Amino acid sequence: MVGELVETSKDLIIAQLSDHVRQMEERLDILESNENVNENSFFMCSMALIIFLMQCGFAFLEAGAVRSKNTTNILIKNLLDSCLAVIGYYCIGWAFAYGPGTPGSSWNLFIGYSQFFLAGVDNYSKFFFQYVFAATSATIVSGAVAERCEFATYITYCTVISSFVYPVITHWGWADGGWMKNGIQSGNIHTTYIDNAGSGVVHLCGGAISFLAAYMMGPRHGRFATEDEEESIEIKGHSVPFAALGGFILMFGFLAFNGGSVAEIVKPGDGPIVALAMTNTILSGAFAAMVFLVIHYIWNGKWTLLLTINACLAGMVAACAGCNKMMPWGSAFVGVGAGLIYLGLSKMMVKLRIDDPLDAFAVHAGGGFWGLIAVCIIAPDGVAYSIVNVINGSKDGSAVAQAFAQLGWNLVCAIAIITWSIGIMGPVFSFLKVISKFRVSYEVETKGLDIYKHGEAAYPLHAYGHGWDEFENIKTEGSDKKRPNTHVRKMSVHQEISMEELAEAYQRRSSVAFDLGGNTKRKHSLYTNPKQFEHPEHHHKAKQRNHFTRNKITPVIATKIDETLDEESSTESTITIKSDDEHYRKSPEINSGWKE
């Protein structure tokens, strides 16, 4: 009897222990699952934060590449890009991209149609990560139409791209059930869309729209030579340091852009793949930059900074597609190709007289298209490896057939992305052009968009003074006498004269200069005629020696007594010009510039 009780107790204890062990295992599984979700979410959010910083990079790069009169305009566009993109992607973009559809439905091949306004969504880390990708795709276009785009046009295309154009392409290539991701299957051949970080989905989309927008909008006034001019005039940006800072921020952001696209960090091998993606990204950008820099120096004899930054970015764009697959030596192949393609497309755009101030098409469309092709050549299962394996006998000819089929499918997908992007945005741009909301007027473009559109100059002249002696009488150095009834700004060069008086005297004298023989002539310098030649579209006029020559211009020597500066009066000789050409004085082309 006692033995039976002992055996029963043993069985009961074992059963209870087994139950406790099972419950503990379930709890551990739940904890591990939660931990994996938390780690992956933290990883994606961290990468997305760095990618979001790329908006700052685009802002600085574009601000440095435009003239100072359009700096505020380009900066607010990049700000609104982040705002409009998140609103549009929240409302409908996510649903079109990743909204689950009915299994087997033909609609699901093309577009998602559920989870509008994030209804039923719990993976917010993926939403945030994909939002910054959508914002990147939209902001690419702003560089191609800088300095001449209507503000309404920017708001329109930014909303359409981030809410519809980009999400649909995302569904094709990255969502379960998308036709590009499904690929084709025939016998032993099965293809799918290979694009880890968006060479096609993000950059080829934005680059193709950039080309269309720049072509339809036309070049900036003065960018290309007219019939009576020999060569084009390159319009320089106002700040190389700004552009360089933006380029460095974008390089930093691309490491997270490509590394974060792995999307997971908890599985065995995820960490090395992330590291491989980042390594390939920076290597590809470096090879592209060096190849371009050397060729540019051979052709032009100059070590260019801005174009080298663009070449580096093109290499990083090309690495997006296969950064997680190819070996580091393959990144050299991708980078060299990207540098050469960027060089060729940049030159081609100038030959076609298409004005792209930031080379958005050459960087993003050229780099993106090359990336989709290169990954099918240099990846471990690509064309190059397959041919080598067939030669050494490790694989049969079916491997080569599979590799070429995959290359062909990626090419088809690239063409589909270009066609969709241009096909949707073409009518949008045409409509804006018809209602005269596509491009600003000649006067606004010449004088600058900052004051007219925003009322905020990036560099207001009144902000460069100081607070000393602005509105009080001061003593000049070496004199105890005050200058009554004048508002004097003390200067270190000519402390005995106010800045206002110096500016007035300079304005009187700068219009006339004396040569060694005592004759008078108009200056033709960009520096002494800042109003006339303030804008690059007027630069060619400065080269015409007799541009200001007018008939019946008679120099007359006159004497004028200046205002009393101290207790003593002084006189000075001035020269005035009498001309019967009143058109010269009233010409809006000459006397241009917004008044702040």
φ/ψ (deg, to 5) at 321: -65, -45
Encode burial over 43-55: b for 16+ CB neighbours within 10 A, e otherwise.
Answer: bbeebbebbbebb
3-state secondary structure 387-406: HHHHHCCCCCHHHHHHHHHH
85 & 190 share domain: yes
Q: Whole-number mean pLDDT of the chain?
A: 82
* Residue 343 covered by a domain: no
* Residue 595 covered by a domain: yes
* Residue 164 covered by a domain: yes
413 & 471 share domain: no
369 & 425 share domain: yes
Q: What is the pLDDT of residues 215-273, one digit of tens each?
A: 999 999 988 887 766 666 778 999 999 999 999 999 999 999 999 999 888 888 899 99
CATH of the domain at 77: 1.10.3430.10
Residue 163: pLDDT band (50, 70, 90) is: very high
222 & 242 share domain: yes
* Residue 460 covered by a domain: no
* Residue 294 covered by a domain: no
Distance, in Å, from the CA atom of 135 to the CA atom of 48, rounded to the nearest integer, reads 11
Distance, in Å, from the CA atom of 66 to the CA atom of 238, rounded to the nearest integer, reads 6
Q: What is the pLDDT of residues 96-151, one digit of tens each?
A: 999 988 777 788 899 999 999 999 999 999 999 999 999 999 999 999 999 999 99
pLDDT average, residue stretch 309-336 = 96
Q: What angle do CA 91, 46, 121 make, to 5 degrees?
A: 30
Q: Which pLDDT score, from 0 to 100, does residue 499 have?
A: 56
Q: 477 with 458: CB under 8 angstroms?
A: no
264 & 398 share domain: yes
* Residue 259 covered by a domain: yes
578 & 537 share domain: yes
159 & 179 share domain: yes
Q: Which residues pair with 557 in a beta bridge?
A: 575
* Residue 2 covered by a domain: no
Q: Which pLDDT score, from 0 to 100, does residue 64 have?
A: 96
396 & 531 share domain: no
166 & 216 share domain: yes
The residue to which tokens 């090359």 are assigned: 370
Distance, in Å, from the CA atom of 280 to the CA atom of 197, rounded to the nearest integer, reads 12
Q: What angle do CA 295, 251, 373 make, to 5 degrees?
A: 65
Q: What is the pLDDT of residues 177-224, one digit of tens each?
A: 899 999 998 888 999 999 999 999 999 999 999 999 999 999 999 888
The DSSP output letter for 467 is: S
Q: 164 with 111: CB under 8 angstroms?
A: no
487 & 522 share domain: no
- On the 0-12 / 13-18 / 19+ scale of CB atoms within 10 A, 107 is exposed
* Residue 310 covered by a domain: no
Question: Of 454, 478, 501, at which residue does a domain stop?
Answer: 454
H or E, element range at 573: strand 571-578
96 & 195 share domain: yes
Report the domain count for the chain. Answer: 3
Q: What is the pLDDT of residues 482-531, one digit of tens each?
A: 444 444 444 444 445 555 565 666 555 544 444 434 444 444 433 344 44
Pairing of strands 513-514, 520-521: antiparallel
The residue to which tokens 């917010």 are assigned: 124
Question: Of 454, 478, 496, at which residue does a domain stop?
Answer: 454
Distance, in Å, from the CA atom of 264 to the CA atom of 262, rounded to the nearest integer, reads 6
Please name which of 543, 544, 555 lies closest in space to residue 515, comparing C-alpha atoms.
555
List the domain range (segments joined by +) for residue 519. Answer: 511-596
Q: What secondary structure does DSSP assign to 269-291, as a single string? A: THHHHHHHHHHHHHHHHHHHHHH
Helices 397-434, 151-160: crossing angle, 10 deg rounding? 140
φ/ψ (deg, to 5) at 559: -120, 135
Q: Which pLDDT score, from 0 to 100, does residue 523 have?
A: 42
CA distances from 217 to 212, 277, 432 (A): 8, 37, 11
Question: Of 510, 544, 576, at which residue does a domain stop?
Answer: 510
111 & 161 share domain: yes
pTM of the model: 0.77
Q: 65 with 358: CB under 8 angstroms?
A: yes
